């Protein structure tokens, strides 16, 4: 019997990063086995690696050590392939060969050998398409940072308003790109600089897509090319191409009016001290998404208190800079407040209350073009 010739040979240091990137689009609970698979296409000295769950598609390439004359595309279970490659030595050279039976692929490295099921490449689904929309280049670190700053304000439960379940990205009137999210309780909005004036309709990127983008590109310093169409977005960066569906719906155009300019009170507070006080009073919370924190402005201090539904309570105090009247109180959702305090990365934050809207508005003390808003709620006071 003739010895099977390798389909291709690849180094682990090339294959593993490609598998890790595309695995983000593998459907881990797929009922359709194709959606749990990874597509591999060897061609000359390159291997194309692709995966999709039909909401997101990720494709990248890596260099081959060798490609056989009979090599052709096939798909294998993504989780199995990645686990095998991860557990091989870092210096491993990996051969892919025809299996002993139809529908199998053999993977061999040194004395290790594995046989796993494969499916025809012709059955593998693809979202690949030519987008007809706006294309622009942008600094990827700015985009991932913006996603991270607004993600806490995305609505994660379907309440019949799809625009709340994603991140709104839209060009501003000057050379800036806006990112915003709101969940019915709070709003988070960030603006980043662009190299030119952009022109495309605002889009809503699913939270899942934004999370994948952050995991793929958070450490990448080079620019990205972004293409935007009516229902799709494609991001090409660092040799990886990500294609994603968008959320249908219209984001409120005037979302920035949630932060009125006619505020009545303004305080200056250290983020770390307020964050610590909030964490302490939340120790008695029974429903973290419903229990409200009551803030009361006093002379040079702010009283922070929480009383749970069961009647347990906690009180703390935070030093502030404030020159207005004392005694003003407001109740805020503690989950929304903690989300903001975990996001703001300046040492201090400016907080504004009152005006034409009763919302609380949080602004970094220096630099960043970002704001966070929380709608007030009823919050019980504490005894003591």
Q: What is the set of domains in the chain, with CATH numbers?
A: 8-123 (3.10.150.10), 134-254 (3.10.150.10), 259-374 (3.10.150.10)
| pLDDT value for 365 | 87
Distance, in Å, from the CA atom of 157 to the CA atom of 301, rounded to the nearest integer, reads 37
Q: Is 146 exposed, middle or buried (0-12, 13-18, 19+ CB in 10 A)?
A: buried
Residue 335 has pLDDT above 80, yes or no: yes
**Model pTM?**
0.91
Q: Model confidence at 3, in pLDDT bands (50, 70, 90)?
A: low
> Between residues 70 and 107, which one has the greater pLDDT?
107
Q: With beta carbons less than 8 A apart as the criterion, state whether 84 and 99 touch.
A: no
Residue 31 has pLDDT above 90, yes or no: no
pLDDT tens track for 102-140: 889 999 999 999 999 999 999 999 887 777 888 999 999
Q: Model confidence at 291, in pLDDT bands (50, 70, 90)?
A: confident
pLDDT tens track for 44-58: 999 999 999 999 999
| pLDDT value for 230 | 80
Phi first, then psi: give them for residue 285, nearest 5 degrees: -65, 140
Q: With beta carbons less than 8 A apart as the criterion, state whether 35 and 125 touch.
A: yes
Average pLDDT, the chain: 92
Q: With beta carbons less than 8 A apart as the criterion, state whether 64 and 256 touch.
A: no
Angle (CA) 147 154 274, round 5°: 80
pLDDT tens track for 187-232: 999 999 998 899 898 999 999 999 999 999 998 998 999 999 889 9
| pLDDT value for 286 | 84
Phi first, then psi: give them for residue 167, nearest 5 degrees: -110, 125
284-308 average pLDDT score: 89
298 Cβ partners below 8 Å, 6+ apart?
326, 327
| pLDDT value for 310 | 86
> Between residues 15 and 160, which one has the greater pLDDT?
15
Q: Model confidence at 1, in pLDDT bands (50, 70, 90)?
A: very low
| CA distances, 245 to each of 31, 57, 206, 229, 255 (Å) | 20, 9, 8, 10, 23
Residue 328 has pLDDT above 70, yes or no: yes
- % of the chain exceeding 70 in pLDDT: 98
């Amino acid at each position: 019997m003739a010895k099977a010739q390798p389909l291709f040979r690849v180094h682990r240091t090339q294959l593993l990063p490609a598998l890790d990137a595309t695995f983000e689009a593998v459907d881990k609970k797929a009922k359709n086995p194709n959606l749990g698979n990874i597509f591999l296409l060897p061609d000359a000295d390159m291997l194309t690696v692709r995966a999709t769950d039909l909401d997101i598609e990720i494709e990248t390439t890596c260099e081959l050590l060798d490609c056989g004359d009979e090599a052709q595309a096939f798909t294998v279970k993504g989780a199995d392939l990645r686990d095998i490659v991860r557990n091989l030595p870092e210096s491993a050279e990996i051969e892919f060969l025809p299996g002993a039976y139809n529908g199998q692929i053999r993977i061999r490295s040194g004395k290790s050998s594995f046989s796993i099921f494969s499916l025809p490449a012709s059955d593998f689904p693809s979202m690949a398409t030519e987008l007809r929309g706006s294309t622009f280049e942008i600094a990827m670190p700015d985009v991932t940072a913006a996603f991270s700053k607004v993600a806490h304000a995305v609505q994660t439960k379907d309440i019949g308003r799809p625009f709340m379940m994603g991140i709104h990205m839209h060009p501003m009137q000057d050379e800036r790109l806006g990112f915003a999210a709101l969940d019915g309780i709070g709003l988070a909005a960030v603006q980043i600089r662009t190299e030119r004036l952009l022109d495309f309709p605002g889009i809503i990127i699913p939270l899942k897509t934004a999370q994948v983008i952050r995991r793929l590109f958070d450490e990448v310093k080079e620019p990205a090319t972004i293409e935007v169409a009516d229902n799709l977005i494609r991001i090409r960066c660092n040799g990886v191409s990500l294609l994603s569906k968008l959320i249908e719906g219209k984001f409120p155009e005037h979302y920035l009016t949630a932060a009125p300019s006619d505020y009545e009170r303004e305080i200056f507070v250290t983020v770390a001290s307020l964050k610590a006080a909030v964490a302490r009073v939340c120790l008695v919370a029974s429903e973290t998404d419903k229990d409200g924190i009551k803030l009361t402005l006093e002379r040079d201090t702010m009283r922070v208190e929480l009383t749970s539904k069961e009647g347990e309570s906690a009180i703390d105090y935070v030093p502030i800079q404030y020159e207005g009247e004392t005694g003003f109180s407001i109740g805020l959702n503690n989950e929304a407040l903690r989300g903001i305090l975990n996001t703001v990365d300046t040492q201090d934050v400016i907080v504004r209350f009152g005006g034409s809207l009763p919302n609380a508005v949080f602004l970094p003390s220096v630099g960043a073009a970002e704001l966070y808003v929380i709608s007030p709620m009823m919050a019980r006071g504490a005894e003591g």
